[in-house]
Structure 1
Amino acid sequence: MSGRSHRAATLTATSMLVAALAGCSLIGGGSDDSDGEAARSVVLVTHDSFAYDESVVADFEAASGIDLDIRQSGDAGELTNSLILSKDNPIGDVAFGVDSTFASRAIDEGVFEEYRSPAVEEGADRYRAGDTDAVSAVDVGDVCLNIDTGWFAENDIEPPAGFDDLVDEQYRDLTVVPDPATSSPGLAFLLATIEHRGEEGWADYWADLRDNGVKVTGGWTEAYTQDFSGSSGAGPRPIVVSYASSPAAEIGEDGEPRTEALLETCYRQVEYAGVLAGAADPEGAREVVDFLLSAEFQSQVAEYMYVYPVREDVELPESWEQAAPLPEDSAALPAAEVDAGREDWVEQWRTIVLG
């Protein structure tokens, strides 16, 4: 899904989105159970954007006797690299946040041991990573172009409808994208353009975008909060790479979303959880996977992480039904194809766009 941390109650809707997608450190500590005995400590390794309702986690800890030690490790790409480099001496028991652009690499490297949670039948199986039970889908986050609808109305310019419009002269200097080499949503958008234009045409498309004044930032946070005109940062550019869920964070006082996701440009990112091979407490790790797939945890992922739950029996927040419905036909390249081409594509992109 990318370019996704702890949400404070006083944050505005946009800053909640920033906190959820950009991340800040939140690490659990040791505790005693109700009988005064030390709880089992299970280490969950995740990305910086992991966010949750503390009461839901506390209820799980109380019911399971597990002290969930949460350790955050960069974005999805950095997390994957850390898990691969430490696979012979794993840095945790269970991992969450390896997404569909990196999952095949982690699986092929033997990072995870197979575990099929009974809860996957409630919807997660729709997003299965190939024919393996090494990981289980936990959430879905579609990366799409977002536009500031008010900006286009005020400037009397027809909003773009999809990829091809961005290279038109009337949209010169209006688009900002995160660097695919350093950003998960940036990489997802690059993959979306490859799927859209094909191997023979994507490079020319990016050359045209470059010539039409596309701006590149290091990450999603900078692009969305500093350059995008539709966020609280009120930047100068009304077109940004973000998420299909982002408009839910931009609801105006009139109850209407101020931004819109262009659903024809979406690329599907799925985030997975799995038991780490060689885990100190594999049984506890399996319980954590079950918890991440439970209705209790799934019911709060939209509010806290601005992603879509995988369970079919969990409803989205009411505001999402209008502002951020789950895209029905997002693009996605086969995981093996992404794994084989990712490094070459990114290097070629850097040569074209950054020189």
Structure 2
Amino acid sequence: MKSYAVLAVIVCVLLTLPTLTGQALGRELTLMTHDSFSMSESVLKDFKAAVGADITILRSGDAGQALNKAILSKNNPMADLFFGVDNTFIGRALDNDMFMAYTPKGFEDINTSLLLDGENRLIPVDFGDVCLNYDIKWFKAKHFAPPAGLEDLIRPEYKDLTVVQNPATSSPGLAFLLATISRFGENKYIPFWQKLKANGVMVVNGWQEAYWGQFTAASKGDRPIVVSYASSPAAEVFYAEQKPDTAPTGVVIENRSAFRQIEFAGILKNSANADLAKKAMDFLLSKKFQEDIPLQMFVFPASTKATLPEVFLKHVKITDAPASLPADDISQNRDKWIREWTETLLR
């Protein structure tokens, strides 16, 4: 009887204790992502608590580089969860059959226009519009209007004013290339780029080099037009030492000039911690993480329930009619389009 009594006490103690977490068991979840991924310290702490494990953020280059590494290691994955597949690479990611289907909590609150995978292997987490940004002060000083659409860039008065990113090495560069294909059509986008080259467009490898190295509003460069995000004006205000009433930069989002970039997350099929990865997916759609996104990565949350910060509400414009292309078309033609662009602009 004594042994049964001891056993009963043990059972009662176990039942009254909190569920043993992954952290207590020494487990670890690895999130593979691109170099621009960010979350606040307090949210990271909540993330660990929600998953019940330690979390390693494995930053692996830009979005394309990170996906390549995930594909090459898919049979023995380097991580449990991948964040940062965008709609320019979603076809390639799904074709490699590397993500397991899972419908996370909060899925019903996602903006339905962002859903591109009917099997829920890749779930939308955020989105942003890639578009032309311009230096308001520069154009006012020169007494002429900033561009209103992509067509303006090839007009003589805009000669030597624009800097763009190489689509082979830059995610916003690729998104902008796709915007031109959407806007002008597959048969007419190369003539547009030929005219843009003749009009002195500058091509650099990445966003940082373009924005912080050549853009007049953010550097000592001499280019008042740059490819960036529609949310960049909010970032300019947010990070300013003395907050201006109006943003120093404007955006060009009308006439299908902006390409909507959607970022997805998914559980890697051969993960050893699929149970933890499911909890992590739930957290990525939680109100806490979704509302952390704007001021950490300066893009929009995918959840319609997330409240935007005031600086977004006041200084960010978003297009109602973004440039778009079917994901299958992008997947089938992306390499060809980049090759054609490279032969036109860099050779």
Judge same fold: TM > 0.5, yes or no.
Answer: yes
Identity of aligned residues (%): 43
> SS at the partner of 2:126?
strand
Check conservation: 1:247, 1:258, Cα contact below 8 A.
yes
Check 1:66–1:125 CA distance in 2 against 1; reply closer, same or farther (3 A cut): farther
| Counterpart residue number, 1:246 | 232
Check 1:124–1:134 CA distance in 2 against 1; reply closer, same or farther (3 A cut): farther
| Counterpart residue number, 1:305 | 297
> Deviations for 1:236-270, whole angstroms, at most 9, x for unmatched residues?
11000000100112236432100011112110010
| Counterpart residue number, 1:17 | none
Uncovered stretches (5+) of structure 2, i.e. residues with no partner: 1-19
CA distance in 2, matches of 1:79, 1:149: 35
> SS at the partner of 1:226?
coil
Check conservation: 2:117, 2:123, Cα contact below 8 A.
no
> Which of the numbers 315, 330, 333 marks the counterpart of 1:341?
333
Aligned partner letter, 1:338: I
| Counterpart residue number, 1:73 | 60
> SS at the partner of 1:143?
strand
| Counterpart residue number, 1:260 | 250
Q: What is the number of residues matched between the two proteins?
A: 322
Question: In the alignment, is residue 122 of structure 1 matched against residue 109 of structure 2?
Answer: yes
CA distance in 1, matches of 2:118, 2:318: 25
CA distance in 1, matches of 2:23, 2:99: 33
> Which of the numbers 15, 24, 32 marks the counterpart of 1:45?
32
> Which of the numbers 168, 172, 184 marks the counterpart of 1:197?
184
| Counterpart residue number, 1:315 | 307
- C-alpha deviation, 1:40, in angstroms: 2.0
Check 1:329–1:39 CA distance in 2 against 1; reply closer, same or farther (3 A cut): farther
Uncovered stretches (5+) of structure 1, i.e. residues with no partner: 1-32
CA distance in 2, matches of 1:126, 1:288: 23
Q: Which runs of 4+ in 1 moved over 6 A?
A: 33-36
Check conservation: 1:125, 1:137, Cα contact below 8 A.
no
CA distance in 1, matches of 2:244, 2:190: 42
- C-alpha deviation, 1:327, in angstroms: 2.4
CA distance in 1, matches of 2:50, 2:158: 55
- C-alpha deviation, 1:38, in angstroms: 4.1
CA distance in 2, matches of 1:160, 1:336: 31
Check conservation: 1:83, 1:106, Cα contact below 8 A.
no
Question: In the alignment, is residue 287 of structure 1 matched against residue 243 of structure 2?
Answer: no
CA distance in 2, matches of 1:237, 1:35: 51
CA distance in 1, matches of 2:176, 2:228: 9
Check 1:160–1:325 CA distance in 2 against 1; reply closer, same or farther (3 A cut): closer
Check conservation: 1:266, 1:330, Cα contact below 8 A.
yes
Larger mean CA deviation between 122-131 and 43-52 belongs to 122-131
Check 1:35–1:106 CA distance in 2 against 1; reply closer, same or farther (3 A cut): closer
Question: In the alignment, is residue 159 of structure 1 matched against residue 146 of structure 2?
Answer: yes
> SS at the partner of 1:326?
coil
Check conservation: 2:193, 2:344, Cα contact below 8 A.
yes
Check conservation: 2:129, 2:258, Cα contact below 8 A.
yes
CA distance in 1, matches of 2:342, 2:39: 35
> SS at the partner of 1:192?
helix
> Which of the numbers 142, 161, 175 marks the counterpart of 2:129?
142
CA distance in 2, matches of 1:320, 1:36: 36
What TM-score, normalized to structure 1? 0.88
